[in-house]
Structure 1
Amino acid sequence: MKIRMALAFTACIVMTFLAISAMFHPASQAMGEGGYAGKQSLLRLDKTAEQLYQAAYTNNRQAGYKYVQQLEKQMDSVSLRDVAGQSEGWRLLEDSVSAVEASLHGGRSGTSWMLEAARIHLTTDALIRPQHALWLQYEKLMLEDLQRVKRAWNRQTGDGAAAARAAMDSFTAHLAKIEAAAAVQRPGERIAQLKERMRYTNVLLDAGVRGQSKQDWTEDSIADLRDSLVRLFDDGLAGNEEPAFSPVAEARPIAWVLLLGAVISGVLAYNGWRQYKYRPYGIKKR
């Protein structure tokens, strides 16, 4: 009896130790270190993007060329894209970096690549601060744009359609600035829907300038456009949408097997101890 108790107790201790060791296995540690390294890489990317924006703001072409080269080198890492963001957002970020480089090579002024530099900065900021990204502040501005469109369209004067179309230009410019940042955080379907409703609204407003649009059609289109805008900024997901940032699941089946074995061994050891306590000498055969 004593031997069986000792074996069960020893097995319990050994399996518990192995289960704890499996949970803190070097592979798991490496995964954590890899996540930390990826986060640091994103921070460096955002820092470079901010420096590029400052260079564009001051029209410092030499500094701008330096930072755009750094961005291209930093974005060359494929593993970096696995840390955060959706592929469409990364593609748009690449397009903006290429546009800045083309502007610099073409000898254009700082204002020509200022928009692209702003897009880059907003996108990298969204990658590292998904809950408090700068692009989220554009919701109020764009809602105000649509409010001006609606007020202009409902004017009783003859220039209402033209004024509404001019207000839509502000909305379009704001969307162009945040599109890449939104694309790294939001499902592509939302952005595509918003752009399609924006296009249709512009078509109706252009027809209104020519006196060929119906009042109720345009009003409904503006309302639908507003709904799509609100949905874009909503961080909730519909049933058919996937999150842009999903935590990495770490499965450790061996750890759970060992832990379960430790529990079973512990129960057996405790049961053996109880039997030995009340019947320390067992039953001897004659």
Structure 2
Amino acid sequence: MRASSLFALFCSAVFIGYLAIGSFAGLSAAVASAAAPTPAVETSAVDKQAGSGVAKLSQLADELYTAANDANRQVVYNLLQRMEQLSELKAVRASGTDAGWAAYDQTVKGLKQALSEKGTSQRWYIEAAKLKLASDALYRPTVPLWLQYEGILKDDENRIMIAWQSQTEGRFDAAKVNLDIYRDHIDRFEIAALMQRDAGQLQALRDQVTYTERILTAVDGGAVKPQEVQFALEGLNSAASRLFRLSDGQPALAEAIPPGTTIGEYRKGSSQIVEMFIAAFVMAVLGFAGWRKYSLYRNVGEPVSRNKFK
């Protein structure tokens, strides 16, 4: 290949690399805008220890979740022991809230108890999921996974309303079942929410769930009017919205991810951008090589052996 061709390829690689770096920097800036301001002084040794400890705790929680899903009792127990020791470090406890850590410790204790009992593997999975979400909230405070439950709760709320409006004989039982699912989902992200929100906000949501259940029962018994169910569900939606919003009332992810993008998609965004531009570069190289070959032989023609048609 000629020197000019090599130079053109080199320039293309530099340009594509520049675009990839720029895109990655744009994604990083979006996260930085939602994070706390950079301190004027250098990060202390204690802060570095806390960050390292929280990162390790999140990693262990991910492994615990996988082991619990596989019903591997021994691995779950060993990981739980390591997580318990790590979570007791003062540097790690500096993240989160007292209420969050109290709920965290209680869940660890409950999971330990479940490991000593037979037929409790399903409980391992549920308790491990709670610890995973809580550890993730400590490690990624700006884009924690538990915030995705806002959409899940909205779906639950819609199913409650659809079940109630079905006008079938068992509509109360159907609505009650979906309300129980709503409550289970709150249980799933409770520790993570307590690590980042005031306990009163979570309790307000739970109280609204209890109130909605009472309204459903009262309407089913003819004690109150059916439209009270709609009012109760509106209150449920409001309580959930307050929990998932920041202290200034703005959506928690408004500064972190683009509208309509999930947290999982956002986390993969940086690597996907880089992979996309690498693929583009490879395609450019292959296309250029094909064009060079075509331009070389288009006016020359390819010789054909006389023996080919014998």
**TM-score normalised to structure 1 length:** 0.69
Residues in 2 aligned to 1:41 and 1:32: alpha-carbon distance in whole angstroms: 14
Residue of structure 2 equivalent to 1:66: 78
Deviations 1:44-96 (A, max 9, x none): 111111111111000000001101111111112233211x2111111111111
What is the CA–CA distance in structure 1 between the aligned matches of 2:222 and 2:73, rounded to whole Å? 46
**1:210, CA displacement in angstroms?**
4.2
| Alignment correspondent of 2:202 | 191
2:96 equivalent to 1:85:
yes
Give the corresponding residue for 1:113.
124
Cα pair distance change 1:72/1:125, threshold 3 Å: same
| Residues 53 and 91 in structure 2, CA contact (< 8 A), matched pair in contact too | no
How far is the alpha carbon of 1:211 from its aligned partner?
Answer: 4.6
Task: Please give the residue correspondences for 1:16-165 in structure 2 after superposition, counting only pairs within 5 Å.
Answer: 32-82=44-94, 84-165=95-176
Contact 2:179 2:213 in 1 (8 A): yes
Q: Is it true that 1:201 corresponds to 2:212 in the alignment?
A: yes
Aligned residues: 211
Question: For the residues of structure 2 that align with 1:213 and 1:66, how far apart are their CA atoms?
Answer: 53
Distance 1:189 1:237 in 2: 16
Question: Cα distance, 1:108 vs. partner?
Answer: 3.7
Q: Does 1:179 align with 2:176?
A: no
Counterpart residue type for residue 184 of structure 1: M
SS of 1:106's partner is coil
> Superposition pairs for residues 1-20 of structure 1, below 5 Å?
none
Give the partner amino acid of 2:109.
S
Question: Is the contact between residue 64 and residue 128 of structure 2 (CA under 8 Å) also seen in structure 1?
Answer: yes
Structure 2 distance, partners of 1:68, 1:151, is 41
Q: What amino acid is aligned across from residue 194 of structure 1 in structure 2?
A: L
User: Alignment partner for residue 236 of structure 1, among 247, 250, 257?
Assistant: 247
Write the letter of the residue equivalent to 1:196.
Answer: D
**Match of 2:23?**
none
Q: Distance in 2 between matches of 1:44 and 1:107?
A: 30
2:115 and 2:223 map into 1 onto residues whose CA distance is 43
Structure 1 portions without partners, runs of 5+: 1-22, 239-286
> What is the Cα deviation at residue 131 of structure 1?
1.4
- In the alignment, the residues of structure 1 paired with residue 121 and residue 224 of structure 2 have an alpha-carbon distance, to the nearest angstrom, of 40
Q: Which residue of 2 aligns with 1:260?
A: none
Contact persistence 2:47–2:91 (CA under 8 A): no
Provide Cα deviations, 1:96-150, integer angstroms capped at 9, x if missing partner. 1111100112234321211110000000000011111111111111101001111
Q: Given the superposition, is the C-alpha separation of residues 188 and 194 from structure 1 closer, same or farther in structure 2, using an over 3 Å criterion?
A: same
Q: CA RMSD in A?
A: 1.9
SS of the residue corresponding to residue 62 of structure 2 reads: helix
Q: How many Å apart are 1:212 and its aligned residue?
A: 4.0
In the alignment, what sits opposite 1:269?
A: none
Q: Structure 1 76/108 Cα, relative in aligned 2: closer, same or farther at 3 Å?
A: farther
State the AA in 1 paired with 2:62: E
In structure 2, C-alpha distance between the alignment counterparts of 1:90 and 1:237, rounded to whole Å = 25
Aligned to 2:290: none
SS at match of 2:141: coil
1:52 partner letter = L
Q: Report the equivalent of 2:228.
A: 217
Residue 44 of structure 2 aligns to a residue in which SS? helix
* CA–CA distance in structure 1, aligned partners of residues 61 and 73 of structure 2: 14
Residue identity (%): 28
Structure 2 CA distance for aligned equivalents of residues 236 and 63 of structure 1: 40
Give 5+ residue unaligned stretches, structure 2. 1-38, 250-310
The answer (yes or no) to whether the contact 1:205–1:213 under 8 Å persists in 2 is: no
